[in-house]
Amino acid sequence: MTSPAFFVRDLPIYGTVILSPMDGFSDLPFRLICRELGSAMSYTEFVNVDELAVTKRRDAKCWRKLEFDPVVERPMTFQIYGHDVDRIVRVAQCLQDLQPAPDIIDINLGCYVKSISERGAGAGMLRCPDKIETLFARLSRELRLPVTGKIRLGWDEASRNHVENAKRLEDNGASLIAVHGRTRAQGYSGQADWDAIAEVKQAVRIPVIGNGDVKTVADIARMRAHTGCDGVMIGRAAIGNPWIFAGKDREQVTLDEKIALMRRHLALNLEFYGPERGLVLFRKHAARYIAGLPNEAELRVPLLTASTVAEFDRLIESTLAPLTA
Ligand SMILES: Cc1cc2nc3c(=O)[nH]c(=O)nc-3n(C[C@H](O)[C@H](O)[C@H](O)COP(=O)(O)O)c2cc1C
């Protein structure tokens, strides 16, 4: 086996490109596909500690988000968020004792959604470096597992404090920092600031993962060269093109490969979510897999409204398969 690209505390990471945590997208089926194509570690979608704390049923939605494949998905990171330090620590302690157990607990310090950030969770924590310090000091003292954080650059342009927050994370036991190069106020507007990611990398000794606006295979190398980061996290560009983890841009993927992967992704969804929900939740991926195909316009509505797997298969057979001949 090749040597590790970097370590999360004592955990070797064999690769530098990683699927971002994405609510509604980075579920078990999609993560499996990305891992098979080369994503070097797994992050769950973010999960609310308030929900986990009060929901005991293991088949509840929030608990299902923490299911993973213990064979394919090592190392496995559970990403959680909350505003209450005590509750985050208690829930994290409980999560590390699950079977199968994750390898890493990550705290979301970047979610910009109002209902979350304005309550002091997600990016809301970026305004309170003291709270970040208290939280990570406790997590690193009270958990066996390594603890990591995913940040944005700050609350808004006037209060960018990524370097301070990164240092506080490191000084209080964080084993890795992922940095999305935007502020909370930016949401997804503007350009991710890769200079700021470089500033974080310069400021700490723990590994830094750069994130934001990596859209092509060439961007992966550009991000690493520009920032010096240890790894690169890809979110939106992986949806519809998980082959980016195998070093292929969208236009390099053949239609045969697309059809085969859509079928596999749908099958994984059906297995994980059951026939109805599995198909419904696959639609948003299907829309992205077919983006840019010559008959996208013709296929889009029927594919996104297909109500049975048989109907879905027939559409692929009649509309896409002939194009491969
Ligand atoms: C639909 C969607 C859901 C997201 N959910 C999460 C999440 O659960 N946890 C998190 O840390 N970031 C989340 N993000 C942010 C991404 O992880 C990433 O930081 C951001 O999309 C920038 O990277 P990109 O330019 O490669 O997409 C989400 C992004 C999108 C588009």
Q: The dihedral of CA 196, 199, 204, 207: what is its sign?
A: positive
> What is the per-residue burial (b if ≥16 Cβ within 10 Å, else e) of 40-68?
bbbbbbbbbbbbbbeeeeeeeebbebbeb
Half-sphere exposure of 77 toward its Cβ, with a 13 Å CA cutoff?
32
User: Could you tell me how many helices (H) and strands (E) the chain has, helices first?
Assistant: 14, 11
* Rounded distance between C-alpha atoms, residue 109 and residue 62, angstroms: 19
Structural domain total, the chain: 2
- Report the run of H or E that residue 208 belongs to, with start and end: strand 208-211
Q: What are all long-range contacts of 219-225, with beta carbons under 8 Å and residues at least 24 apart?
A: 220/16, 220/17, 220/244, 223/194, 223/197, 224/16
Q: Is 210 in the pocket of ligand 1 (CB under 6 A)?
A: no
Our CA dihedral for 105, 109, 111, 114, rounded to 10 degrees, sits at 130
Region 76-91: what's the mean pLDDT? 98
- What is the predicted pLDDT for the residue at 40? 98
At 174-227, the pLDDT tens digits run: 999 999 999 999 999 999 999 999 999 999 999 999 999 999 999 999 999 999
Among 22, 44, 117, 183, the mutation site with the greatest number of ligand 1 atoms within 8 A of its Cβ is 22
Q: Which amino acid is at 168?
A: R
Q: Which of 216, 232, 249 is the last residue of a domain?
A: 249
At 158-167, the pLDDT tens digits run: 999 999 999 9
Domain, as residue range, for 95: 6-249
* Rounded distance between C-alpha atoms, residue 309 and residue 43, angstroms: 28
Catalytic positions are: 111
pLDDT of 29 > 90? The answer is yes
Q: Are residues 194 and 51 part of one domain? A: yes
- What is the predicted pLDDT for the residue at 320? 79
Q: What's the pLDDT band for 323 if we cut at 50, 70, 90?
A: confident
Q: Are residues 88 and 12 part of one domain? A: yes
* Rounded distance between C-alpha atoms, residue 270 and residue 284, angstroms: 14
- What is the predicted pLDDT for the residue at 294? 87
Q: Is 48 in the pocket of ligand 1 (CB under 6 A)?
A: no
Q: Which of 189, 216, 249 is the last residue of a domain?
A: 249
* Rounded distance between C-alpha atoms, residue 188 and residue 183, angstroms: 9
CATH of the domain at 96: 3.20.20.70
* Rounded distance between C-alpha atoms, residue 53 and residue 92, angstroms: 10
- What is the predicted pLDDT for the residue at 1? 61
Q: Are residues 64 and 21 part of one domain? A: yes
pLDDT of 119 > 80? The answer is yes
* Rounded distance between C-alpha atoms, residue 248 and residue 238, angstroms: 11
* Rounded distance between C-alpha atoms, residue 124 and residue 116, angstroms: 7
Among 19, 20, 281, the mutation site with the greatest number of ligand 1 atoms within 8 A of its Cβ is 20
Q: Which of 249, 267, 290 is the last residue of a domain?
A: 249
CATH of the domain at 300: 1.10.1200
At 40-76, the pLDDT tens digits run: 999 999 999 999 999 876 669 999 999 999 999 999 9
Task: Kindly report which listed range (34-43, 54-63, 76-85, 275-284) carries the lowest average pLDDT score.
Answer: 54-63
Residue 36 lies in a domain: yes
Residue 1 lies in a domain: no
Q: How far is the CA of 22 from the centre of ligand 1 (A)?
A: 5
Q: Is 219 in the pocket of ligand 1 (CB under 6 A)?
A: no
* Rounded distance between C-alpha atoms, residue 42 and residue 1, angstroms: 19
